[in-house]
Structure 1
Amino acid sequence: MGSKVVVAGVSSLYMAMPVEEFPLPYTSLRFPDWMRAEVSGAACHIADTLRTLGDEARLCTFVGEDVAGEAINASLRARGLLGPGVVKVPRSSLGVVLVAPDGRRSGHPYVAAVNTAEYPVEVFRRLVRDVDLAVLTNTAFVRPLLGHARARNVPIAVDVHLITDIDDAYNRPWLEVADIVFCSHERLAGPPEQWVASVFERYPGCAIAAVGLGGRGCLMGLRDGTLIKAAAVAPRGVLSTAGAGDALFASFLHGWLATRNPVTALKDAVLHAGWKVGDTFPSTASLTEVELARLRESHPIATSLGRWDTAA
């Protein structure tokens, strides 16, 4: 039986298309080789990954009463995510992803339409009541929900994405309540090991801190000083890295909740994320737990153990 997880954040209608290179040269007209319209957004992707792996995912999100909202509702319904936590607002959030031949992506989320809305606290309080974990993405309308999750004494997981500073003013409310923290390496000012050590020093409530390293896998620290490194693998090659961090984050949370073993959970997370980037729209491609176990047999993940607190 899977875990119960509430996921709060954005669900968006996205367009994805290829480009020849970055930076993108100007042209007045372009005929791309492919283009896809799909429903994604961090919360939607995380919830869908968890649900496909076998967990009960309760999605708290906004969907607009517009054309985009019709598509979002249809996708959420088909994926088993349309529930009482999906709240109507006038306009939907949107996004565009440009994808280079090597899989690098340039994301352009438009979330202003939902970030000015106030998510109904009582809806969230009902859905978070008996869950095993609250995944609270760092979109603006989720901030008022942080204290309610903490008041329920529910473990909290956050992904602060492209953060640069351990004392970042915007992300600090999330970091202060988080038990599990993920982020990307892309904009960190120093080595990922240094970031992990800084998280544990600055935020004493954090038990697990991880840094996604893109094509180099993931580095994870535990409160007891353990450092785990898992090498990346891409069983189907790399077509798009859009949403790879969300895939890594969600897949780890599923494994951690199921086993409480951070090493095996991280290995499965790196493998699942590596498989998903072999799709032109990774957030709509997820494996079941059985399929992931089968893939694990043919694609073992190399890991190493060390210490993040050696210098201390």
Structure 2
Amino acid sequence: MSKFLVAGVTQIETIVRVDKIPVSYAPITSANESIFTAMGGDAYNESLALEWLGDDVTFMSIVGRNQDLGMINPPDRKITLSTEYIIPQMKETPTEVVLYDKNRKQQIFEDIKDLRENVYDMSMVAPIAEACDMMVLANANFCRPFAKEAAARNKPIAVNIRSYKPEKEIYNTDFLEPAKVLYFSDDTLAEDPYDFIDRISGTYGTEIIILGQGSEGLILFDKTHNLRVHYNTVKTNEVVNTIGAGNALFACFLHYYMETGDSVNAIKNALLFASYKIGYMGTSNGFMTTDQLEQWRNLIWGIKKSEFESNS
């Protein structure tokens, strides 16, 4: 079990299943089991997954002043996130609407409200930062001071950058420079993925980079072990909804990487965790247990004491 401090965005998400993106105009479309609304957000989802896997998680976030914090922990969920450090200080909670179709295409509409103007009370952070094993951060404005806290205490940082845009790289420097682990999605990537990984690692000295490639799988880069390899997706479930799969994959990777230091073992478990997740509606539903992960992993890849030893 590792101790994670997770800081990032909490938002209200509405997920809508459509026949095809782009959506054709119709005055009204009626379809059962096609609209789902719940709490979400990258850091929120990652906190849930880490807690589910047995880690000790302190989640720090900001929401709207009138937000019902009871929505953070719906009664039908098996795990509970502490709301002690979720501060209701914004005018409204950020909101996102996601349209998705059977071909895994997504169209996202987001309204971050006054998120950029808000700051987090860092006086609460110092003792928790000192006690944690890793900080997992979103690249939100209010998370910048967390990166400085981690660097001051020599704590490893993992950052979910999500979609990469060249014009935003300067904005993200505060996160890119100190991060030990970076996660990107290739949704908006215009350059060759291997060239991109080499450039990011060469520029910032990043030890671990995960580049998600949707249905094509991902690329794992591990500087210490001179590793840069593509992994295909695996199938453990029928695809219902891929939203939140990247958050699940990132969290599971961090759980096992912090436990073993073996990035290959961690990414294989993460691929399984994400593949099961996409069989469920909602970004915070459908997590594999550690026992299920072990069973599937042994079934697909066999039992190996160490991935690095077995590949040497």
Note whether the superposition's TM-score is higher than 0.5.
yes
What whole-Å deviation, never above 9, does each CA across 1:90-146 have from its counterpart, x for those lacking one? 422222121212333222232223332210111222321111110011122212322
Q: In structure 2, what is the equivalent of residue 29 of structure 1?
A: 28
Amino acid at match of 2:41: G
Matches within 5 A, 1:8-157: 8-34=7-33, 35-66=35-66, 69-72=69-72, 79-89=79-89, 90-157=91-158
Question: Contact 1:234/1:278 (CA < 8 Å) preserved in 2?
Answer: no
CA contact (8 A) 1:63 1:73 kept: no
Contact 1:19–1:99 under 8 Å retained in 2: yes
C-alpha RMSD over aligned residues: 2.3
Aligned runs of 1:129-278 on 2, under 5 Å? 129-165=130-166, 168-204=169-205, 206-224=206-224, 225-278=226-279
CA distance in 1, matches of 2:112, 2:218: 28
Q: TM-score, normalised by structure 1?
A: 0.89
Using a 3 Å threshold, how does the CA distance of structure 1 residues 181 and 42 change in structure 2: closer, same or farther?
A: same
SS at match of 2:235: coil
**Contact kept in structure 1, 2:158 and 2:179, CA below 8 Å:** yes
1:310 is aligned to none
Query: How many residue pairs are counted as aligned between the two chains?
Result: 300
Long gaps (5+) in structure 2: 308-312
Give me the identity figure in percent.
27
With over 3 angstroms needed to count, the CA separation of the structure-2 counterparts of 1:83 and 1:283, relative to structure 1, is closer
Q: Is contact 1:84–1:123 with CA below 8 Å preserved after alignment? A: no
TM-score, normalised to structure 2, is 0.89
Shift of 1:16: 1.2
Task: Flag structure 1 segments of 5+ consecutive residues without an equivalent.
Answer: 306-312
Distance 1:77 1:270, change over 3 A: closer
**Does the residue aligned with 2:169 lie in a helix, a strand or coil?**
coil
CA contact 2:67–2:88 (8 Å) conserved in 1: no
Secondary structure of the residue aligned to 2:166 is coil
Higher mean Cα deviation, 3-12 or 157-166?
A: 157-166
Contact 1:212 1:245 in 2 (8 A): yes
Q: Is the contact between residue 39 and residue 75 of structure 1 (CA under 8 Å) also seen in structure 2?
A: no
Question: In 2, distance between residues paired with 1:279 and 1:74?
Answer: 16
* Gap change, CA 1:67 and 1:210, over 3 Å in 2: closer
